[in-house]
Amino acid sequence: MKNYRIEIKRTETGKVAVVPKEFAKKARIYGTEEYEKWEEILSKNPGIAMETKTIKKNKDKKTNKNKTYKNAL
């Protein structure tokens, strides 16, 4: 098992655990180390929800997609 960074945040609706996508996938499989880790978190924090991390994307990013000499003019 990797050393996953799990952040626990308090929200208005309760506690939320922010986990990487890979951890969330493996935690659904019974018997894996990630499953055991998630069960440990649930036992210490009853009613906690799991949320996957998201990366902020720049919507104004300029790309060079489909850039040819003809399209550049």
pLDDT given at position 73: 62
The pLDDT value given to residue 68: 76
User: Residue 27 has what pLDDT?
Assistant: 94
Strands 15-19 and 7-10: antiparallel
State the Cα–Cα distance between residues 13 and 34, nearest whole angstrom: 25
Q: Which pTM was predicted?
A: 0.71
Tens-binned pLDDT, residue by residue, of the chain (73 aa)? 788 889 999 988 899 999 999 999 999 999 999 999 999 999 999 999 999 998 888 888 877 777 777 766 6
Distance CA 53, CA 8 (A): 12
